[in-house]
Homo-oligomer: A and B are copies of this chain.
Amino acid sequence: MSSSRSAIAWAGKKFRTKNISQRVRNIVISPIKEMSILADQFLARNPKTRLISFGQGIPFYDTPNHIKKAIRRALSEADTAKYTLEPGITELRELVAKKYQAKSSEIMISVGCQEAMACALATVIDPGDEVLIPSPTFASHIEQILQFNGKPVFVPLIEKQGWRLSTKEFAKKITKKTRAILFSNPANPTGAVLGQQELADLVDLARRKNLILISDETYDFLTYDNLRHISLAELRHGQNDNLIVCGSFSKKYALTGYRIGYAFAIEGIIDHMLKVHDALAICAPAISQKAALAALKGPQDCVAGFIKSLSRNRDLMCYELDKMSDIFEYQKPQGAYYVLAKYKKPALNSFKLALEILQRVQVITIPGAAFGPTGEGHLRFSYAGEPNDIPEGFKRLRKFFRS
């Protein structure tokens, strides 16, 4: 099963099995990162190549200067060299709590959203437990569930309706073993954004079935055409104590390299997530926590600028995809910075196709099957990179697909 989800395995790598747990034999490095690793290997063999990346979602813009200034200042503070309190710097927890009108004891500062999601899953599932996830879903969510010996249960999204999520389809897949429903919103890789009613239905379903809802809101700031993102946290009232929201500073403030994010849940859940956080990482990096503090306390106009650039990038990519409508069909993204485009030809699985594209025209794309079975027959394109890379990348893709 795992080798069919691994780009590196498709490229010919054999994995050792002696002394290796079944757990880890079953998982893969997310193909999002595998494609970067394979591209790096290609570059080592062909050092003069210019790669174009529509792969891993790394924004092209740099960390804002006022945040860098705060990092420089942090270097002269003695506590930057040292562990922070395990749950995070108190002031940072308080500021994140404010965003959700919550208490600081309801916030855990994490090593990016990724670690927050890992802590959430470890806290909610035991071996054999099931987690409902949309298909397609963010690739790493599959591995995170498997890593803690859970079972990802895929619920297909409705592509023709803009990758819409149907609560009824989720309800059908619930068994005695189901413990949680996990999704990203805005969604990676589809760019879909959940509406008020969809969220309310999910919350209602989860409460009735005694499930935990886990929402990855890494792209909460990034919606287009004046669409408002609704956090799962906004549906927290009355008895809704079954919500876990994970978030990030990575994309909003150009801090992906700093590995800094957080989780928000009721204190009774955070208490347990902190145990996992300790065993995985001890604490989030102090310097990154201070960068995040500066990000929250500083001016926010940089964020509006980022959204504007990414919105232009989206239009540019859609324009290029439209020019290739003989090959690609896609749903226009409402948020995040990805398009998951269906290809009409060639008749290759998405792993083979992405490897061929890299090999022949040096463009990094992500095989759709990495995101779950419904992703097969698609490629994910990130438009977070340099605007100029978009026309150049598509020039190459036209050459590839039309030869």
Contacts and interface: CB of A to CB of B under 8 A. Distances in A.
Given A20-B272, A280-B280, 11 more contacts: A16-B269, A21-B126, A27-B275, A37-B87, A40-B85, A63-B75, A81-B255, A111-B111, A140-B282, A259-B285, A285-B288
Interface of A: 13, 15-16, 18-25, 27-30, 33, 36-37, 40, 56, 58, 62-63, 68, 71-72, 75, 78-87, 90, 111-112, 114-115, 118, 122-127, 129, 140, 143-144, 147-149, 179, 210, 212, 242, 254-259, 268-269, 271-276, 278-288
Contact of A83 (B29, B129, B256): B256
Interface centre among A75, A125, A257 (most CB of B within 10 A): A257
Contacts of A16: 268-269, 271-272
A47 B259 CA distance: 32
Nearest to A259: B285
Contact of A274 (B29, B40, B148): B29
Given A24-B123, A282-B33, A287 B258 contact: yes
A275 B19 CA distance: 16
Contacts of A20: 123-124, 268-269, 272
Give the number of copies in the complex.
2
B56 A83 contact: yes
Contacts of A122: 21, 23-24, 147
Name the residue in A22, A86, A269, A279 with the highest tally of chain B Cβ atoms < 10 Å from its Cβ: A279
B282 A23 contact: no
Contacts of A255: 81
Nearest to A39: B85
A271 B312 CA distance: 39
Contacts of A279: 27, 30, 114, 118, 140, 143-144, 147
